[in-house]
Amino acid sequence: MEEIDSQIEILITEDGSSSLRRKDLQEGYHSTYGAIAESNHIFINAGLRNIERKSQINILEIGFGTGLNALLTCEFAIKEKQKIFYQTIEKYPLSKEITSKLNYGKILNMEEEFEMLHSINWEENNSLNTYFEIRKTAQAAEEISYKENFFDLIYFDAFAPQFEEKLWQKEVFDKLFLSLKDNANLVTYCCKGDVKRTLKSSGFQIEKLPGPKGKREILRANAVKKNDLV
Ligand SMILES: C[S@@+](CC[C@H](N)C(=O)[O-])C[C@H]1O[C@@H](n2cnc3c(N)ncnc32)[C@H](O)[C@@H]1O
């Protein structure tokens, strides 16, 4: 493990992809069993591949961090020729010194896209290619008002509830529920009982799915808005 600044160290996970660890919180950005493997399992396979194709898929990510989920989503968009608009929120943006040490671009053969993800300005829309448009917002996710009925999918990938208490609250999940289209999904690595109860109280229907290596379960929450009973 290499110390990059006084708070963050970089490590190589079991699948060869790098990850970061916040020393002050003793919290990792990804599973040590494999950063790319985990992100693919939770966000791409259980999230993105589960929604039907349409002219444009709108995704909201809570916790941009290293940009790994954004890069994998961009890879999907290019390979599948699927237009994606990606809004991502980050409370603690990482410095260039740190992101330039991550190996995702090299491993995925997407070095140019990875560099662009980190060099584009915050708070403006940028198209990386014909299929992938991104807007990065540097703010605490709990403080934002989201566009209603707009997103097809939410990647909820912030630090765990014990570190971000204000985020994992009913008021925030209420706003996220409203931001989703009918029947759209939120996926997260966190399967804690409190989180499941809070999501349900905001109107989500919960589905537990098998987790990636080292994690028993993950959550997919469905925003069912229309009542079929007339
Ligand atoms: C588990 S890491 C994952 C990040 C990212 N998806 C990735 O693949 O690198 C969690 C991220 O959420 C960010 N975060 C924590 N609390 C947040 C909040 N309240 N609002 C927005 N981002 C937050 C952290 O700074 C960190 O970058």
The structural domains of the chain, with segments of one domain joined by +, span 51-223
Q: Please give the distance, rounded to the nearest whole angstrom, from the Cα atom of residue 141 to the centre of ligand 1.
A: 9
Backbone φ, ψ for residue 136 (5° rounding): -100, 130
Task: Pick 51-223's CATH classification: 3.40.50.150, 3.90.79.10, 3.40.50.1970, 3.30.930.10.
Answer: 3.40.50.150
For the question of whether the overall pTM of this predicted structure is more than 0.95, the answer is yes
- Ligand 1: residue of 157, 165, 176, 190 to mutate (most ligand atoms within 8 A of CB) is 157
Do residues 205 and 222 lie in contact, with contact meaning Cβ atoms separated by under 8 Å? yes
Atom of ligand 1 nearest to the CA of 65: 27
Looking at residue 6, its pLDDT comes to 78
Looking at residue 4, its pLDDT comes to 61
Looking at residue 227, its pLDDT comes to 65
Q: What is the rounded CA–CA span in Å between residue 73 and residue 24?
A: 30
Q: What is the rounded CA–CA span in Å between residue 26 and residue 22?
A: 6
Q: What is the rounded CA–CA span in Å between residue 12 and residue 17?
A: 6
Q: Please give the distance, rounded to the nearest whole angstrom, from the Cα atom of residue 29 to the centre of ligand 1.
A: 8
Nearest CA owner, ligand 1 atom 19: 140
Residue pLDDT tens, the chain, 230 long: 666 677 899 999 999 999 999 999 999 999 999 999 999 999 999 999 999 999 999 999 999 999 999 999 999 999 999 999 999 999 999 999 999 999 999 999 999 999 999 999 999 999 999 999 999 999 999 999 999 999 999 999 999 999 999 999 999 999 999 999 999 999 999 999 999 999 999 999 999 999 999 999 999 999 999 765 54
Looking at residue 43, its pLDDT comes to 98
The partner residues of 138 in beta bridges, in order of sequence, read 90
Q: Please give the distance, rounded to the nearest whole angstrom, from the Cα atom of residue 102 to the centre of ligand 1.
A: 16
Q: Please give the distance, rounded to the nearest whole angstrom, from the Cα atom of residue 216 to the centre of ligand 1.
A: 21
CA end-to-end distance (rounded Å), the chain: 59
Specify whether the backbone of 182 is left (phi greater than 0), alpha (psi in -120 to 50) or beta.
beta
